[in-house]
Amino acid sequence: MLKGIPKIISPELLKVLSEMGHGDRLVIADGNFPARSVGKESIVVRCDGHTVPEILDAILKLFPLDNSTDKPVTLMEVPDGEDVKTPIWDIYKVIIGKHDERGDAVVNTIEKPAFIKMAKESYAIVATGEGALFANIMLQKGVV
């Protein structure tokens, strides 16, 4: 056991977060995201049974967002024609605001194909059991 580490952060996830460097990206994926196939070239950490907001809050206690870019947080846009609401994004913005003084100004959205491409190039993907649709979020690590 370590002091100050949220219990939801597994030893495997803590190792990944520690290994990441400035500018590396981490995806926290919902339960529908194809983490294993998209993450063939990166590390996939399973956090089944946990939600994205739980994991996001725990990670941001340890993980600085990149200050060298205006938008170190990226969300996957809902494709045109799909009638999906994303109230979970509002929860993310509250969590981000707790941990970064820039608040929700750091959040960007990109189209699904671009998000998938960036996810393939990410350092790691955290696969959660999140049931909300389009609940995927990507964080770019800053400097401690």
pLDDT tens-digit series, residues 62-94: 999 999 999 999 999 999 999 999 999 999 999
On whether the pTM is more than 0.85, the answer is yes
Residues 90-107 pLDDT 10s: 999 999 999 999 999 999
d(CA 53, CA 59): 10
Q: Which two tokens stand for residue 88?
A: 């979970």
Residues 11-27 pLDDT 10s: 999 999 999 999 999 99
pLDDT at 28: 98
Q: Is 12 helix (H, G, I), strand (E, B) or coil?
A: helix
* Beta strand pairing call for 137-140 and 73-76: antiparallel
Return the closest-CA partner of residue 58 out of 26, 36, 85, 106. 26
pLDDT at 1: 74
| pLDDT > 90 in the chain, percent | 98
pLDDT at 17: 98
pLDDT at 42: 95
Among candidate residues 15, 22, 61, 117, the one labeled active-site is 22
Per-chain mean pLDDT for the chain:
97
Q: Is pLDDT of 35 > 90?
A: yes
22 is catalytic: yes
pLDDT at 98: 97
DSSP 24: -
